[in-house]
Amino acid sequence: MNRKESPLACAYFDITSPSASEGTEQAPTEDRCDPPSSSANVCVLLVDDDESILEAGKQVLQHFGYSVVTAQNGEDAVRLYQDHFPAIDVVILDLHMPGMGGDDCLRKIMVFDPTSKVIMSSGTAPPHLRRRFRRNGARYFLGKPYHITDLIGTIRSVTKSDLPRRRRRSRKTIIQNPIAQ
């Protein structure tokens, strides 16, 4: 992780991979990361086995007004999500962790709450894995290392969307006649 000082005097991450756009949606990035007033009521569950990422991520998110709960593995993440349901608005979930990894954790969270807003994160995730995350319910993928504007922009995009995750349309077409005869 490259730690640098931003003009806001908080750490930011260079959290992007070259092929992060394949397989899952990418959140629009913003030029500025002003603390939004809408973040005051948003709770983020940040899950990563790297303690330095948890600590830095928590500080950055709190700087931007988010409430943050952290977990170092999938088992704790599922337990915390269930214990704090429905207070957790967004889950940022690392893929590679000891014990229950991010992929299994994603599935368990989605079984518990199919409308949950999960952002998957990893430094190594080929396109076929990103497509699988999307099929399993993840809203976005953030490749590591990611920049603070990508992190905040993704959270903002996910929390703006109160609609259920888009589903694939059936190949069958149903034609209805609006005029009753």
Q: Strand pairing of 4-5 and 11-12?
A: antiparallel
Domains of the chain, start order: 4-25+33-160 (3.40.50.2300)
Sequence-distant (≥ 6) Cβ neighbours of residue 6 within 8 angstroms: 12, 148
Per-residue pLDDT of the chain (181 residues; tens, 9 = 90+): 343 333 333 333 443 333 333 444 444 333 333 444 456 689 999 999 999 999 999 999 999 999 999 999 999 999 999 999 999 999 999 999 999 999 999 999 999 999 999 999 998 877 888 888 889 999 999 988 889 999 999 999 999 876 444 433 333 333 333 344 4
**Cα–Cα distance list, 9 to 5, 93, 117 (Å):** 6, 26, 29
pTM tops 0.85, yes or no? no
Which pLDDT value is given to residue 40?
Answer: 66
Which pLDDT value is given to residue 44?
Answer: 97
**Cross-strand bridge partners of residue 141:** 120
Is the distance from CB of 26 to CB of 71 less than 8 angstroms?
no
